Amino acid sequence: MKRLAWAVPLFAALALVGAACDPQPPGGGGGPTNTKPTAVAMASTTSGNVPLSVAFNASGSVDPDGTIVSYSWDFGNGTSGSGVTATANYTTPGVYTAVLTVTDDDGATDTDSITITAIGDGDGDGFFPPDDCNDNDPNVYPGAPDEAGDGIDQNCDGIDGTLDAIFVKSSGGADNSTCGTVSSPCASINQGQVRAVATGKTDVYVAGGTYPKFNVVEGLQIVGGYGQNWQRGLNATAPTVSNVNASFDALTNGPVAMIADGIDSPTRVADLKLNGGTAGVGQTSYTAFVRNSTDALVLDSLQIVGGTGGPGANGAPGTSGWSQPAGNGAPGGNGFEPGGCNTSDAGAGGAGGVGANNGGAGGKGGPIDGSCVWPGICTSCDAKPGSPGAKGLGPAGGNGGAGGSAGTSGLPGICNLQGDVGQYGQPGLNGANGSPGAPGAGGGPGQAGGTGGLGTHGSGGGGGGGGGGADCGVDDAGAGGGGGGAGGARATGGGQGGQPGQPSIALRLQNASPTLIGIQIELGVGGKGGNGGAGAPGQPGGQGGNGGAPHQRGGGGGKGGNGGTGGASGAGGGGGGGAAIGLSRTASSNPAGTPVTFSGGQGGAGGTGGNNGATGLVQNSVVNG
C-alpha cells in the first residue's frame, strides 16, 4: 500500500512534464497542424551543348493549407536564383543538379531537384555528342572526309566510308539496273562499277564473299573487307574477306583476277584478296595485270595470290621417213651342167639389195674348166672354185662369204678317189645397225628442250660366196651366192623438244607505275615443262638373198647377209619448268609507295625426254619485256 501511495504522485508529475514538452500549433491556442508544401521543379531542357541556357519553372509547386511565400534556386553551377521562374546558363561541360526550395507561410519547406547535362565539344571540332561520334578526335565529325578502309567512321554515318556509295555483296546481292543500296546490293564488282558511274558515285564497297574477275573503272574507289552487316573490324559479321577469282581473259590470253588499263586519274583499289587461276597449255597465269597507268592508281592493302602457270606443249615425235624395209638381196643363180669345155658359165651371184647402204653382190659359181682350145677341148680340165661374195657398203658392211672349193678333175670311174665335190659358198655377214641419234638437251628454266639427234644408216650385208664347180665324170657349174640385204636408212627426224612451262605472275606491271601500299604477294607455281617427243625407229635392213641350188656334184651358193637396221633418232629434250614470279615489270614501270612483301612460290617441274628439263625458278621481282 505504501508503494502505491508514492507512485500516484510520481505518475502525475511525469504527465505534467510531458504536457509541457508538446509543441503548440502555430498561432497558439492549440489550432490544426500545418502541412508542408510540395516543391515541383521543371526545366525547359535537361541536356544540351554548351553554352546551355535552361529556363526553370516552379509553378507546379503547391501548399495545400496555405501559400508558398518563397522560391529559391541553386543551379548547381555556383549560381542561384529566386522566383517561380528563373534562368541559368551552363558554360562548362558537366552534369549538374539544380535544386528548388519552396517555403510556405508557416515556414515549412520542401525541395525538388533536376539533373542538367551540359555537353561540351571535347575535341574543338565544332560538333557535339551524340552527333560527334568521337568527341576526342577533331578529325571525326558529321560530314568529315571519310576514307573507306582505314577502320574509322570519320563522318559518323555508321560505316567506315560514306553511305553515299554503291554496295556489293555476293550473298544476297543481285545485278540489275537499280542495285547498289545497303538493302539491295549488287552481286558483282563489275556491275557495282556500272551503277557507280550511272549514279555519279565514286565509292564501291564490297562485302566478304567470292567474286569473278573485274576491270578497274577509272575514277572509282573500290574497297573490300566489309562484313555482312557493312561494319569493319571487330564489329563486322563474317565473312569479311572479299575474294576475287581469276578466269580467262583475251587481253592476257590466260587467267587473270583484276585488270587495270589506262588509269591516269585518281583511282583506288583496296582490301581485296585476288586469287590467280590455273592456266591452259602455253598460257601465263596472271593474278593482277596493270598496263599503261600512272601513280594516280593506288593499290592498297591487297592480297595477291599467284596461280599456276600453263604447262608447255609436248614435243612432236620424230619422223622415220620410210614405209617398208630396205631392199632385199637377190637370190643366186642355180648350178647347172654347161656341157663341152666351158671356162665362164656358172650360177650368177645375186645382186645386193638397194638402200641407204647397198648389200654386197653374191659370188659367182665356179666354172667347170680352166682353159679350152678349139674345138672345145679343155687344156686345163680342172673345175674352178666359186667366187667370194662382195662386202656390203657402209662403215660396218658385212663381209662377203668365201667361194666354195672346186671338185677335183679325174678319170671316169675313179672320181671319188681324186677329189671333193665343190662346196657351198659361205654366207655373207650382216651389216651393222646404225647408231641412234643423241637425245635432245633438256631445256633450261623456262626454255624449250632440244631436238633429238639423227642416227646413222645401217650397213649392207655381205654377198654369199659362189659354189665351187665340179669335174668328176660329169661337169657341174657351181651355183651363185645370194646378194646381201641393203642397210636400213636412219630415221629422218628426231623427237622435238618439249615447250617450256609458262610462268605464274602474281602482279604484272606493263608500262605502269601505280602507287603500292601494303601489298602482300604470295607466289604461285610455275607451269610444268612439256615432255620431249619420242625418237623414231630406223628402217629395217633388207634380207639377204638365198644362194642358188646346187646341180648334182656342183656346189650350192651361200646365202647373202642381212642388212643392218638404220639408226633410230633421239628423243627430244624435256622443256624447262616455268617460273613462279611475284612482281614482273617492264623497264618503263616504276611503282611508287611502300615495299611489297613476298612469300611462297614453286618453280614448275621440267618435262621428261631424252634429257629432262630443268625446274623453273622462283623470283620475287623481275624486270623483263
**Can you give the pLDDT at residue 154?**
86
| Overall average pLDDT of the 277-296 stretch | 98
More confident residue, 439 or 232: 232
C-alpha grid cell, residue 263: 588509269
The distance from CA 31 to its chain's CA centroid, rounded to whole angstroms, is 104
- Distance from C-alpha of 264 to C-alpha of 219, rounded to nearest angstrom: 9
More confident residue, 30 or 217: 217
3-state DSSP assignment of residue 20:
helix
In the sheet with 68-74, reading across from the earlier edge strand, the strands are 47-49, 109-119, 94-104, 68-74, 80-82
For 512-529, the pLDDT digits (tens) are: 999 999 999 999 999 999
**Can you give the pLDDT at residue 426?**
63
- Distance from C-alpha of 149 to C-alpha of 161, rounded to nearest angstrom: 7
21, exposed or middle or buried, with CB in 10 Å at 0-12, 13-18, 19+? Answer: exposed
- Distance from C-alpha of 35 to C-alpha of 104, rounded to nearest angstrom: 9
Q: How confident is the model at residue 23 (pLDDT cuts 50, 70, 90)?
A: very low
CATH number of 42-119: 2.60.40.10
Average pLDDT, the chain: 89
* Distance separating the N- and C-terminal Cα atoms of the chain: 136
For 147-196, the pLDDT digits (tens) are: 887 778 888 888 888 899 999 999 999 999 999 999 999 999 999 999 99
**Can you give the pLDDT at residue 5?**
31
For 581-621, the pLDDT digits (tens) are: 999 999 999 999 877 899 999 999 999 998 999 999 999 99
Domain spans, the chain: 42-119
Residue among 549, 557, 546 nearest 385 (CA) = 557
| 416 has a pLDDT exceeding 70 | no
**DSSP state letters, 494-514:** PPPPPPPPPPEEEEEEES---
For 441-488, the pLDDT digits (tens) are: 766 678 999 999 999 999 999 999 999 998 876 789 999 999 999 999
Looking at the DSSP assignment, which residues form a beta bridge with residue 210? 243
More confident residue, 93 or 303: 303
Q: How confident is the model at residue 105 (pLDDT cuts 50, 70, 90)?
A: very high
